[in-house]
Amino acid sequence: MPSEPICPDPHLWHISCIVPQSDRIILCLQPLRNSVGCPLCGSPSSRIHSRYYRKVWDLPWAGWPVALLVRARKFFCDAPECPRRIFTESFPNALAPYARRSERAKAALLELVHASNGEMAARVARLLGFVASPDTLIRLQREESFALPTPRVLGVDEFALRRGRTYATLLVDLERHRPVDLFEGRDAAPFTRWLQDHPQVEVLARDRAWAYALAGRIALPQARQVSDRFHLVYNVGKALKELFHSRRWQLPERSGPEAAKAKERKSTPAKQARWEAVRQRKNTGASVSAIARELGMNRQTVSKYLAADQVPLHGVRPPGPSKVRPYLSYLRGRWIEGQHSARQLYHELVQRGYLGTERQIRKAVHPWRSIPGPPPKRAPPLHWLVLRPYQDLSGSELERLDWILQANPVLNRGHRLKEEFQRILRQHDVAALDDWLGAAAGSGISQFQTVARGMRKDYVAIQAAFTTPWSTAQCEGQNCRVKLIKRLGYGRAKTDLLRQRVLHRLVG
């Protein structure tokens, strides 16, 4: 394989001499072309007006900075119809006009700064022999231009610049699997302007955010909107979750050891009083924020109390995090291997960084002494059974879930609605969508009625989710990449610079 030529472009120059100095190496370059085309009319000219020298930086040699001393020329344009009389010789793809470094040196520095950040790239560049400061590298990033094709199928999603405060929007070409733009904000206005500038978009895949749907309807009413399937499943699952946490459900009666272990769930007088106080103030017209300030409660707690038909009850809390918990898998493995000495296990864990006491180890392994083999798995919590897909549960879990659903008809209706929606979405059964929306609206469950009303408003996009392969899954994956790039910036991640870093790898 031939090595990279020392000269930036052997077709444009030849090296007349190499001058080593104390802090750099200078390459003297002489132009080779006999005639050069006018940049305005394109007519070739060989009549030289004058000569001058350009000093630019190039790729270093073995840690030594390399400077190019280019002998450039100016030519007369003899075309009578051309308004330009004198023009400067250009060096396409090798040296830009007025540039202080060659194109290949600029490309190397851009790769370096995009792979890390300005400060780190400047330190590494100095070690390699480049002459560049952090501000120069960031300026090169900002000056880089991109000419990306307008996508036919566009995916849009938001991501957090500062969680809970500032958000940005990422646009992804779903056919080419790459981002095409990034801008600050998640409102309809900036996205509307972008779509108006790119009318070639035919399909718009989005989540359930109403701002993106409104922008699509305003800017490109002819484009087909597709609602994301994951968010549809999430909305239905969230409705069931809110229903589950809205009240106390009747648990089936147990017998034997399970009955002895069951803990009675009670509400304390203080919680009852606070729940009544929240309801009374809401009846007087007070807002959630006002109630929270007056009673000294969290706004989310106030909202939970208002959504519940009765005092929210909770069972006995599981034990909190202990110092033994991170080492339980190791303890189980050693126990199965036959090491039943709590003191020996304690000494082994100390060598692994354990900071607790020996008494905690004895307490952790005590239940295992009467049970051969590893300790039994704990039964999954009730909400886990209700919210998990029905086909993913084991036989004992299905039996327990059926007991719970039979004892609570309202919860059973909500669970059936959730399972039915997932089934018709998996099977792309568009005809059953209308039946499901009618069943949800007539279920008498406020959470599912709200979901049905929202889906009715976005019916066309949801119907497209059943019949097209497009979704925002790619956008979610690109969001993870964007967040990694943002963290690499070490605080130098304003939206314009972040956009340059995200789009850089996709050019060419």
Q: Are residues 86 and 26 in the same domain?
A: yes
**Residue 254 pLDDT greater than 80, yes or no:** no
In this prediction, what percent of the chain has a pLDDT beyond 90?
54
Q: Is 292 part of a structural domain of the chain?
A: no
Alpha helices in 49-132 (DSSP H): 103-115, 118-128
CB 445 within 8 A of CB 463: no
Q: Are residues 48 and 93 in the same domain?
A: yes
Task: Enter the tokens of residue 177.
Answer: 């699997």
Q: Is 396 part of a structural domain of the chain?
A: yes
pLDDT at residue 174 in the model:
95
CB 155 within 8 A of CB 172: yes
**Residue 208 pLDDT greater than 80, yes or no:** yes
Q: Is 116 part of a structural domain of the chain?
A: yes
CA 284, chain centre distance (Å): 43
The structure tokens 């994951």 sit at: 230
Q: Are residues 165 and 137 in the same domain?
A: no
Q: Is 319 part of a structural domain of the chain?
A: no
Pairing mode of beta strands 153-162, 166-173: antiparallel
Q: Are residues 498 and 453 in the same domain?
A: no
Judged by phi (left if over 0) then psi (alpha if -120 to 50, else beta), residue 200 lies in alpha
Residue 460 is which amino acid? V
Q: Are residues 136 and 63 in the same domain?
A: no
Q: Are residues 460 and 476 in the same domain?
A: no
pLDDT digits (tens, 9 = 90+) for 81-113: 999 999 999 998 899 999 999 999 999 999 999
Q: Are residues 26 and 96 in the same domain?
A: yes
Q: Are residues 359 and 333 in the same domain?
A: yes
Residue 508 is which amino acid? G
pLDDT digits (tens, 9 = 90+) for 344-383: 999 999 998 898 898 889 888 888 876 555 555 666 778 8
**Residue 202 pLDDT greater than 90, yes or no:** yes
pLDDT at residue 508 in the model:
44
| CA atoms of 420 and 236, how far apart (whole Å) | 10
Residue 222 is which amino acid? Q
**Residue 145 pLDDT greater than 90, yes or no:** no
Q: Is 147 part of a structural domain of the chain?
A: no
pLDDT digits (tens, 9 = 90+) for 225-253: 999 999 999 999 999 999 999 888 887 65
Q: Where in the sequence is the domain holding 475, given as residue range(s)? A: 153-228+471-504
**Residue 498 pLDDT greater than 70, yes or no:** yes
pLDDT at residue 129 in the model:
92
**Cross-strand pairs, 25:** 20, 66
Q: Are residues 73 and 122 in the same domain?
A: no
Mean pLDDT of 207-233: 93
Q: Is 267 part of a structural domain of the chain?
A: no
What residues contact 182, with CB distance under 8 A and at least 6 apart?
A: 168, 169, 170, 171, 482, 495, 498, 499, 502, 503
Q: Are residues 86 and 160 in the same domain?
A: no
> Looking at 412-416, 495-499, 503-507, which range is the least confident one?
503-507
Q: Is 58 part of a structural domain of the chain?
A: yes
Q: Are residues 417 and 359 in the same domain?
A: no
**Residue 56 pLDDT greater than 60, yes or no:** yes
Residue 69 is which amino acid? L
In this prediction, what percent of the chain has a pLDDT beyond 70?
91
pLDDT digits (tens, 9 = 90+) for 13-54: 999 999 999 999 999 999 999 999 999 999 999 999 999 999
| CA atoms of 96 and 82, how far apart (whole Å) | 23
Instruction: Residue 219: give its domain's CATH number.
Output: 3.30.420.10
Q: How many domains does the chain have?
A: 5
In whole numbers, what is the pLDDT of the chain averaged over residues?
87
pLDDT digits (tens, 9 = 90+) for 391-434: 888 888 888 888 889 989 999 999 999 999 999 999 999 999 99
CB 228 within 8 A of CB 472: yes
Q: Are residues 59 and 78 in the same domain?
A: yes
pLDDT at residue 323 in the model:
84
Residue 161 dihedral angles phi and psi, to the nearest 5°:
-80, -45
CB atoms inside a 10 Å sphere around CB 143: 10
Residue 258 binned pLDDT confidence (cut-offs 50, 70, 90):
very low
Q: Is 377 part of a structural domain of the chain?
A: no
